[in-house]
Amino acid sequence: MSASSKMSPGGGRMRGGVREPHMSRADLKKSLGKDSTVWRLFRLIFKNYKIRFGVVLVCIVISALTTLASSLFTRSLIDDYITPMLSQASPDFSPLALALIKLAAVLLLGVAASYSYNLIMIFVGQGTMLKLRQNLFAHMEDLPLSYFDSHSHGDVMSVYTNDVDTLRQVIGNTVPNLFQSLITLVSTFVSMLVLSLPLTLVSICMATLTVWVTGKLGNISRGYFVQRQQALGAVNGFIEEMVSGQRVVKVYCHEKKAVEDFAALNEKLRSSAYNANKIGSMVMPINGNIGNLGYVLTAVIGALIALGGLTAWYLSGVGGAALTLGTLVAFLSLQKNFTRPISSISNEINSIAMASAGTDRVYSLLDEPKEVDNGNVTLVNTNVSQDGNLAVSDSRTGTWAWIASAGPDRSLSGVEGPSEESGQSEPASADKELVPLQGLVSLKDVDFSYVEGKQVLFDISLTAYPGQKIAFVGGTGAGKTTITNLINRFYEIQEGTITYDGFDVRDIQKDSLRRSLGIVLQETCLFSASVLDNIRYGRLDATDEECRAAARLVYADSFIRRLPQGYDTILSADGGNLSQGERQLLAIARAAVADPPVLILDEATSSIDTRTEKLIQKGMDSLMKGRTTFVIAHRLSTVQNANYIMVLDHGKIIERGRHDELLALKGKYYELYTGNQITA
């Protein structure tokens, strides 16, 4: 077997590294089984729209029965009205007119029912999409950071748009059409049995052939639709990357290569979409021709029975009546009604396959495990009551404490807590206590791996005492940012412990932990809102004056006032109308307005020129005063006043000490600071 044509472990033939879609009956049954994503979607619909869905079912039944009534009326029209009137010299048309009026009333009822259930299903479809998007977004906010580090942002966005949108057509049209087809199929089959057994047998044979062809084509089609949705997500992800990285593309003259890469992804999308729709579009004409063949056979056999006057019991219907001309015409009309639902179901294979693929991707995101948070220690604002005891404050005071379960080594004397009824201070309960936040952060024997088997931190131990400034320096990939990610619990350590004021960080609720940590990242993120609102993102209850004061503290006020509308200037996506340095100043101002007890500065001044850096250094020193601060820096001039400098290399702390002490060692830090390599 050649390398280009081999069997993949998951089934199906591999060509060029891509599995050709193939779905067995077991796979199809699994995808539509009671535990499948499709049924989960239906359960969501039933849960939120039980009454409306009940009304829809009633309307569908009425619509299907009115269609059946019009077909059966053909028999009465010919046998009871037209045939007798042919032998009358002066026929009376009034009975026929009355019958036609009754039929018109029935058909109008069917039209009203059909309009009603389609209108309701549009509402249900849009409401379900609304609910799914809300569930997706709420769940996404609870996902760990590692999920977004390992998934393309464009592919995630594709789930919200393309995959959710595939469900709109299915819920609004396919679902009611399937129900109507099934009801029509059953009621028509019963009516056909009553009219003629042999003709019903012919219809069953042709319907069986239709179902078999539909199943074969549907199995193939769904595999291509799965590929199409995946290819669409890849295209969206690539476009998102190219849009965000357009400056880099142009700097390195990468336009041609980007176009070529996009063309390859676009061709995969075109190919999978073409194959999916090609197979799907074959279903309707094939089934239509099978239906036409069955119609001809039924007409021929029925004509031979009716015109031959054959009246044997096995040639009649369940009722035993002979096959008359009116019965034959009515049966032929019923057969169209019998094959039409089968063809309709076949025609919905495309929508079902597409929805199944889209639903799988939607629920794949919804099934991603949430960020685990089992902490029972929370952060609160405190003040000192009139009797000198520590008390919880329901307003922001800037003085923080942890509320924790009382341990055997912690005293509750002199501690007060808030009253649940009045909100006033009262003595803390026997199982709760207030522990003042000091900012004592300690890592002991910490090991960490992003991916199992590839350890990036080894035996990290350090202690940051309250108010100290701890700096991390080292080459790219040394593990500096990883340490701060672990303090935030963006990732969980495999070995060792990290404590915060004596509490294991795994015991602290993540919201409280992260509220106590102000972070300025190297890559700034600004939102499409005013400058004031972007600063206020650090603390949503901050006043306008507090936001302006934070900007003045970090020397961002001067450039903000030069903007067209000052603090009310609306920023474009991610602050594209600002320089990189200005964006970083706003990020620093955001951290300042948050007024956190502990600061993490990840290359906070990397995009600010030397002159501006000197200007804001006083503001940064003021911001860091009294706070435990972790600083990650490549510019070693910014960390010379740090209490301790940790030098990392390949995930290990190889040197630690003050600036002068490390220079005296003439080791790795000396090399980084002077640029001179020490030789043995």
Quote the pLDDT of residue 250: 73
Q: What kind of fold does domain 441-674 have according to CATH?
A: Rossmann fold (3.40.50)
How far is C-alpha 318 from the chain's CA centre? 54
Minimum mean pLDDT among 95-109, 215-229, 651-665: which range? 215-229
Mean pLDDT score, 621-643: 82
Query: Band of the pLDDT at 109, cuts 50, 70, 90?
Result: very high
Q: How far is CA 278 from the centre of its chain?
A: 29
CA 574 to mean position of chain CA atoms: 22
Task: pLDDT band for 6, please (50, 70, 90 cuts).
Answer: very low
| Numbered ranges of CATH 3.40.50.300 in the chain | 441-674
Strand partners, 471: 631, 645
- Residue 618 reports pLDDT greater than 70: no
Higher-scoring residue by pLDDT: 424, 613:
613
> Tens digit of pLDDT for each residue in 334-358?
777 777 777 676 666 656 766 777 7
Query: What strands lie across the sheet with 378-384, from one edge to the other?
Result: 390-392, 378-384, 400-405, 432-436
pLDDT tens across 62-77, in order?
Answer: 988 888 887 778 777 7
pLDDT at 165 exceeding the cut of 60: yes
Q: What letter represents residue 281's amino acid? A: S
Of the pLDDT bands very low, low, confident and very high (cuts 50, 70, 90), residue 619 is low
Residue 379: enclosing H or E segment and its boundaries? Answer: strand 378-384
Q: What's the whole-number average pLDDT of the chain? A: 78
CA 217, CA 360: separation in Å to the nearest integer? 20
**Quick one: pLDDT at residue 17?**
34
Determine the pLDDT at residue 112: 93
Please report the pLDDT score of residue 25 as a whole number.
44
Distance CA 158, CA 237 (A): 8
Structure-token pair, residue 27: 């796979």
Give residue 296's identity as a one-letter amino acid code: V
**How far from chain centre, in Å, is Cα 252?**
34
What CA–CA distance (Å, rounded) separates 120 from 104?
24
Average pLDDT of span 268-282: 82
Structure letter (DSSP) for residue 468:
-
CB burial of residue 335 (10 Å; 0-12, 13-18, 19+):
buried
Identify whether the C-beta of residue 328 lies closer than 8 Å to the C-beta of residue 71.
Answer: no
302, two tokens: 């029925």
Please tell me the distance from the alpha carbon of residue 669 to that of residue 633, in angstroms, as a whole number. 12
Q: What is the mean pLDDT of residues 444-467?
A: 91
Structure confidence at residue 521 (pLDDT): 80
Please choose, from the candidates 506, 517, 516, 455, the residue with its C-alpha nearest in 3D space to the C-alpha of residue 484.
517
Measured on CA atoms in the order 296, 293, 338, 67, is the torsion positive or negative? Answer: negative
**What six digits make up the tokens of 351?**
């929508």
Tell me the whole-structure pTM to 2 decimals: 0.67
* Pairing outcome for strands 503-504 and 495-500: antiparallel
The pLDDT-based confidence of 414 (bands split at 50, 70, 90) is very low
Contact 675, 482 (CB under 8 A): no
- CB-CB contact of 495 with 479 (8 Å): no
Query: Look-up: residue for tokens 């995946």?
Result: 230
pLDDT digits (tens, 9 = 90+) for 589-602: 888 888 888 889 88
What is the Rg, in whole angstroms, of the alpha carbon atoms belonging to the chain?
Answer: 37
Class of domain 33-366: mainly alpha
**Percentage of residues of the chain with pLDDT beyond 90:** 14
Residues of each domain in the chain carrying CATH 1.20.1560.10: 33-366
| Per-residue confidence band for 426, with pLDDT thresholds at 50, 70 and 90 | very low
Among 49-58, 229-238, 389-398, 508-517, the minimum mean pLDDT is found in: 389-398
The amino acid occupying position 118 is: N
Give the pair of three-digit tokens for residue 441: 């952060």
Residues 633-652 pLDDT 10s: 877 877 888 899 999 999 99
SS3 content of the chain, % helix, strand, coil (to 5): 60, 15, 25
Residue in 189, 183, 195, 201 with CA at minimum distance from that of residue 331: 195
